[in-house]
A and B are shown apart, each in its own frame.
Chain A
Amino acid sequence: MTGPAARIGATPIIRVEHLTKRYSKAPKPAVDDINFDVMPGELFAFLGPNGAGKTTTISILTTTLAKTSGTVTIAGRDLDRDQTGVRGEIGIIFQNASLDQHLSGEENIRLHVALYGIHGYRPFYRLMPAEYRTRIERLAAVVGLEDALSKPVSTYSGGMKRKLEIVRSLMHRPRILFLDEPTSGLDPVSRRDLWAYLRDVRREDSTTIFLTTHYLEEAEEADSVCVIDHGRIAMLGTPDEIKGRLLDRSILLDADDREGLLTELRGLGLEPAVDPGGLVRVGYEDRTAQSIIARIRTPLSVLRVHEPSLEEAYVELLGTTAGEAEEIQEAAA
């Protein structure tokens, strides 16, 4: 069980309290006194525009950057006192590929399992334990990389590198998987397959996923969404809570007799408005769309039920500039 219900009485697997990071010579903090909890098994989406503090936060949580102040506990381990222990509990897929281009895909993974102490290092693949060979072959088959493992990473496409990083990050079976824009550069089919596999991993192993992404539809299925802006938490909640707080649910209608429709809707105690698209919009916050539609007698030429998306809520929340909105839409396209 994940999501809000899992929060009741459970101990967070990630706890961030009053976390602040100020880079040397920077006029203001990149991350400014933020607090949040991530529960075990959760898919936690950490969203925000470029420069909001996402990468700084994820760098601190993954021990590659020192914080200025605050407390971070990961899997019960204090980040200040037990960094090595924290690193043993997490897996990371970085925003930028962190692969050695000179080595083959398999050599990159063999290095990884040695760094994590999973298997003793052997200079050749055939000398590695059967357990390692079985696992790597199975994971590679999942993402469709089985024929490319022995080839140099320099010959891989961007999507193949991403898949290799995914295989690598799962080799040591982390309790928490940090995904920093994991699907950027992947084609739609690869993105879908990756998420299908990640769902599988979550279901089978209760792996907690900490996700940053610009593809907001990926965050729709998150258990919790945290939006950061200018280094501060702008909103935290489930996707539905965030949408509910920021956006109205509405029905879009039209009729050949639009005036008659508007009069009828007002007569039903509703407050119709003609939106910029030329359709009649009626909000239904506390009711169901069906309860309104069933009472309308005017013949309709258009009927659409508008369920707000997380992306709309995100844009509304941040009050984005046209440029930022464009960037989000481009990423979503």
Chain B
Amino acid sequence: MTALPTAAGVATRPATRIDSRVGRELNAMVAIAWREVLRAVKSKVSLAFTVIFPVIFMGILGGSISQNLGGALPYAYLPFMLIGMIANTLYQGTITGVTNLVEERENDFTAELFVAPISRYAVLLGKTIGAAIASLISLVGILAMVVVMSIPLDLGDLLRVLALSPVLALAGGSLGVLFVGFVRDPRVAGIGVALLVFPQMFLAGALIPINASNGILGLLAKLMPMTYSIDLARNIFYAGKPEYATAVLHPMWLDLGVTAALFALFTIVGTYFFVRSDRNR
């Protein structure tokens, strides 16, 4: 028989260190958010995509468009694409981070989160904030492509767009929250996330200008939530520049208003259904 250390002294029950309910919820949110960051840093697949994604979409696709069609545009294509891809990466990265809650339901990790004495709202908000921070890591590959592709850029303009990154990431996170409010099956989630991510990248104008989109494509572009987030980033970037009128779709107040309204709507509806569906089976 292996000698076991006694549990005496280990098992005495201490008072909980964080007494206030708000303090506990905030502490839990920080822990959940940091977990997302740790996962992003530790996942080799995630880090590989940080490099592969910009190489494929910016280097190969964006580079080809720039060389073959860029000359027809009334503004430089590469900075236009760069801003679109920054917004797209933050938006989509946060969606993906939040929606992996569905996968975690399957592998039972969420059981640990949901039996803890914290609200479901703290879980979702912590997850969203963490996914938003983790999505910033994905920007490293994109910013490296600025150097590789020699994209002409003013540092001040870039910093203004990066200052907007919390808004862009949280906007994407809210769409992820809406998604997990309604989807429970990981197989459905896999397809659903792909449908949320890739059509939006093209329809919302991350890579390709959509000023001239009309008919069904024009309607879809208007319906895509990310359209307004990407245009908001371009509003910031092109503010005061001669290209503003041709590179930007909507006035800033419209982009900001739609982004804020969709954030509130998606977060409230998604959280409500997520909390409800989790226990009511």
Residue positions of A touching B, CB distance < 8 A: 23-24, 62-66, 84-85, 87-88, 90, 92, 94, 96-103, 107, 110-112, 114-121, 123, 135, 138-139, 141-142, 144, 152, 170, 173, 175, 189, 192-193, 196-197, 200-201, 203-205, 207
Known: A98-B109, A121-B27, A135-B10. A116 touches B116 (CB 8 A): yes
Is the pair A141, B24 in contact by a Cβ cutoff of 8 Å? no
15 A–B contacts, CB within 8 A, in A order? A66-B279, A66-B280, A87-B116, A92-B111, A103-B39, A114-B31, A115-B32, A115-B116, A116-B117, A117-B16, A117-B23, A120-B17, A173-B14, A201-B7, A204-B7
Contacts of B18 in A (CB 8 A): 117-120
Contacts of A170 in B (CB 8 A): 10-11
Q: Which of A100, A142, A192 has the most CB of B within 10 A?
A: A100
Task: Give chain B nearest CB distance to A30 CB in angstroms.
Answer: 10
In the assembled complex, the Cα of A94 lies from the Cα of B116 at a distance in Å of 13
In the assembled complex, the Cα of A46 lies from the Cα of B138 at a distance in Å of 48
Partner of A98, one of B31, B42, B108, B119: B108
In the assembled complex, the Cα of A307 lies from the Cα of B35 at a distance in Å of 52
Task: Answer whether residue B67 sits at the interface, using C-beta atoms and an 8 A cutoff.
Answer: no
Partner of B5, one of A117, A142, A175: A142
Total A-B contacts with CB atoms under 8 angstroms apart: 147
Known: A99-B109, A116-B117, A120-B17. A204 touches B8 (CB 8 A): yes
Contacts of A144 in B (CB 8 A): 2
Contacts of B5 in A (CB 8 A): 138, 141-142
Q: Which of A92, A116, A173 has the most CB of B within 10 A?
A: A116
Partner of A64, one of B34, B43, B114, B119: B114
Nearest to A63 among chain B residues (CB) is B115
Is the pair A111, B115 in contact by a Cβ cutoff of 8 Å? no
How many residues on chain B are close to A (CB under 8 Å)?
Answer: 45
Task: Give chain A nearest CB distance to B275 CB in angstroms.
Answer: 11
**Main SS of chain B's interface residues?**
loop
- CB-based closest 7 A-B pairs: A114-B31, A115-B116, A205-B11, A117-B24, A88-B117, A200-B7, A87-B117
In the assembled complex, the Cα of A144 lies from the Cα of B3 at a distance in Å of 11
Task: Answer whether residue B13 sits at the interface, using C-beta atoms and an 8 A cutoff.
Answer: yes
Contacts of A203 in B (CB 8 A): 7
Is the pair B38, A107 in contact by a Cβ cutoff of 8 Å? yes
Contacts of A152 in B (CB 8 A): 42
Known: A189-B2, A192-B1. A139 touches B38 (CB 8 A): no
Task: Give chain B nearest CB distance to A175 CB in angstroms.
Answer: 8
Contacts of A142 in B (CB 8 A): 4-5, 7, 10
In the assembled complex, the Cα of A193 lies from the Cα of B108 at a distance in Å of 26
B196-221 to A contact mask, C-beta < 8 Å, 1/0: 00000000000000000000000000
Is the pair A139, B113 in contact by a Cβ cutoff of 8 Å? no
In chain B between 23 and 66, which residues have their CB closer than 8 angstroms to a CB of chain A?
A: 23-24, 27-28, 30-32, 34-35, 38-39, 42-43
Question: 7 other contacts beyond A94-B108, A112-B116, with CB at 8 A cut-off?
Answer: A65-B281, A84-B119, A97-B108, A117-B24, A118-B18, A142-B5, A207-B11
